[in-house]
Structure 1
Amino acid sequence: MVSAELHLGVAIDGAGFHPAAWRVSAAEPAALFTSGHYLRYAKLAEAASLDFVTLDDSLALQSGGEGVVRGRLDALLTLSAIAPATSRIGLVPTVTTTHTEPFHVSTSVATLDYASRGRAGVLAVPSPTDAEAAHFGRRPAPSPQDGEAETAEVLDVITRLWDSWEDDAIVRDAATGRFIDREKLHYVDFEGRFFSVKGPSITPRPPQGHPVTAVYGDSPHAVGADLVITRADHLDAVRAAAARFPGAKVLATVSIVLAETEQGARDRQHELDALVPFEPAGLSFVGTPAQLAADLPRWAAETGVAGFHLRPAVLPDDLDLLAGEVVPALRAAGAFRDAYRGETLREHLGLGRAVNAYAVTPGA
């Protein structure tokens, strides 16, 4: 038995992380542009009691030409659409920060938190290319350093806006006609390098207080996020990333190709790479579910990460094996919970409810 339970999230992007996945997946290509496609995989992850699913997004089309899936749904809107049909799984869309106002990010993610009854997160990423900037025509693409610094500022602003309504700001006193207590709404009066935001938000404080904020671990400004996902490709680098962010839950990305035998997994990997040669970011695993269930706790112990962000090569194939065989093996080893113990994503991740920065403590 192991001493610590892992946190596990899973990517449900398209037909799988491998760019050739759509050519071997049982999923119909047209289904990739329906919310039902993503609901299917979110419910599968929920049945396995995984902490959360992620859905990637970008302001640019996928690279690789006509041999890869091109086009995508808006991740935040898609997860908002499936939120009422799920009950426990955390929902973490990628949201680009470079050409999106933090006020809009704040209200949109807060709305997802309401739609999911407290299961929202946001994976904040910059938009660094000239092609993305050209969609808007308002300014050139930022440098990598400026893009990351702006993302950090966005995370600061959106948490302030979530706090701009105190939890009990809504009074709904029908007798007096008083719906809110105006004294419990606050201006954020933020002045930063990239933004000037007055507030308050137009959306009441989200059910979690703060939805979970996440960044990738290669960001130099990741300090302050609740969740850091490192895409380091060897254990020493993962260990270094985990040490950099002692105040956050750090998860390591692992791309997975599974089969009932090692040779079967290698054959699947060769088939995919023959169609489209590809080197995924992060750690890679090719093998059996039992081997993956043995490796994950060992890697966590060696690196100090709290868990893993798993990227199935092909959907539904690798997610089916993950949910049906890897998770039960982890449970048998004491490395993963038997069932959800809370209702919100912050509870799944062992994060306390965020304290409101503007609320006045009684008696203070």
Structure 2
Amino acid sequence: MVSAQLHLGVAIDGAGYHPAAWRISAVEPAALFTAGHYLRYAKLAEAASLDFVTLDDSLALQPGGEGVVRGRLDALLTLSAIAPVTSRIGLVPTVTTTHTEPFHVSTSVATLDYASRGRAGVLAVPSLTAAEAAHFARRPAPSPEDGDAETAEVLEVSTRLWDSWEDDAIVRDAATGRFIDRDKLHYVDFEGRFFSVKGPSITPRPPQGHPVTAVYGDSPHARAADVVVTRADHLDAVRATAARHPGAKVLATVSIVLAETEQGARDRQRELDALMPFEPAGLSFTGTPAQLAAELPRWAAETGVAGFHLRPAVLPDDLDLLAGEVVPALRAAGAFRSGYAGTTLREHLGLGVAVNQYQGA
């Protein structure tokens, strides 16, 4: 038995993380542009009691030309659409923090938290290419350093805006005609390098108080988030990221190719790479579900991460094996919970209650 239980999230992007996945998946390519496609995988992850699903997004088309899936649905809107028909799984869309306004990011994520009844998160990423900047023609692409610093400001402003309504600001007193207690709404008066935001928000404080915030671990501003996802491709670098962020839940990205036999997994990997060679970001695993169930706790013990962000190569194939065989094996080893203990994403991740910085001010 292991000493700690892992946190597990899974990516449900397109036909899978591998750019050739759409060519061997049983899923019809047209389904990739339907909410039902993503609902299917969110429900599968929920049945396995995984902490959350992520859905990638960008202001640019996927790179790779005609051989890859091009085009995407808006991640936050898609997860908002499936939120009412899921019950426990956390929903974490990627949201671009460049060429957007933190006021809009804050209210959109708060709305997802209401739609999901407290299961929202946000993976905040900057937009750094000239092609993306050209879509808006308002500003040049930022440097990586400025993009990260701006992302940190977006997260700070979002948190302040979520707190700008106290939890009991809505009184709904029909007899007096008083819907809100105006004294419990607060200006945030944020003045930063990139933004000046007065507030308060137009959306009441979300069910979680603060929806879960996440960033990738190569950002120097990762301290601004609840969850840090590292895409380091070797254990020493993963360990270094975990050591740099002791106050956050650090998760390591692992791209997975699974089969019932090790040879079968290698054959699947070769088939995918023959169609389109590809090196995924983060750690990689090719093998059986039992081998992955043994490897994940070992990697966590060696690096100090709290868990993993898993990226199936092909959907639904690798997610089916993850949910149906890897998770039960982890449970049998004491490395994963038997079911959900709470109802919110913050509870799943053990983040505790979000304190309102303006309460009583």
Tell me the CA shift for residue 291 of structure 1: 0.1
Residue of structure 1 equivalent to 2:247: 247
Counterpart Cα distance in 1 of 2:131 and 2:319: 33
Answer yes or no: is the 8 Å Cα contact 1:169–1:185 preserved in 2.
yes
Tell me the CA shift for residue 347 of structure 1: 0.0
Answer yes or no: is the 8 Å Cα contact 1:224–1:248 preserved in 2.
no
Counterpart Cα distance in 2 of 1:316 and 1:294: 22
Counterpart Cα distance in 1 of 2:113 and 2:63: 31
Counterpart Cα distance in 1 of 2:309 and 2:290: 18
Tell me the CA shift for residue 92 of structure 1: 0.0
Answer yes or no: is the 8 Å Cα contact 1:293–1:330 preserved in 2.
yes
Tell me the CA shift for residue 353 of structure 1: 1.5
Give % identity. 91
Counterpart Cα distance in 2 of 1:353 and 1:23: 44
Tell me the CA shift for residue 323 of structure 1: 0.1
Give the secondary structure class of the aligned counterpart of 2:357: coil
Tell me the CA shift for residue 93 of structure 1: 0.1
Give the secondary structure class of the aligned counterpart of 1:114: helix
> C-alpha offsets along residues 101-134 of structure 1, whole Å, 9 cap, x if unaligned?
0000000000000000000000000000000000
Give the secondary structure class of the aligned counterpart of 1:36: helix
Answer yes or no: is the 8 Å Cα contact 1:79–1:91 preserved in 2.
yes
Answer yes or no: is the 8 Å Cα contact 1:113–1:208 preserved in 2.
yes
Give the secondary structure class of the aligned counterpart of 2:254: strand
Counterpart Cα distance in 1 of 2:144 and 2:119: 31
Tell me the CA shift for residue 55 of structure 1: 0.1
Structure 2's unaligned 5+ residue stretches are none
Counterpart Cα distance in 2 of 1:290 and 1:127: 38
Counterpart Cα distance in 2 of 1:135 and 1:217: 27
Give the secondary structure class of the aligned counterpart of 1:110: helix
Deviates more, 1:218-227 or 1:35-44: 218-227
Answer yes or no: is the 8 Å Cα contact 1:230–1:253 preserved in 2.
yes
Give the secondary structure class of the aligned counterpart of 2:77: helix
1:115-134 mapped onto 2 (5 Å cutoff): 115-134=115-134
Tell me the CA shift for residue 224 of structure 1: 2.3
* Count of aligned pairs: 360
Give the secondary structure class of the aligned counterpart of 1:257: strand
> C-alpha offsets along residues 37-83 of structure 1, whole Å, 9 cap, x if unaligned?
00000000000000000000000000000000000000000000000
> C-alpha offsets along residues 157-182 of structure 1, whole Å, 9 cap, x if unaligned?
00000000000000000000000000
Residue of structure 2 equivalent to 1:347: 347
Give the secondary structure class of the aligned counterpart of 1:223: helix
Q: Give the CA RMSD over aligned residues.
A: 0.8
> C-alpha offsets along residues 297-340 of structure 1, whole Å, 9 cap, x if unaligned?
00000000000000000000000000000000000000000000
Residue of structure 2 equivalent to 1:83: 83
> C-alpha offsets along residues 17-45 of structure 1, whole Å, 9 cap, x if unaligned?
00000000011000000000000000000
Counterpart Cα distance in 2 of 1:166 and 1:247: 25
Counterpart Cα distance in 2 of 1:263 and 1:292: 14
Structure 1's unaligned 5+ residue stretches are none
Counterpart Cα distance in 1 of 2:276 and 2:155: 36
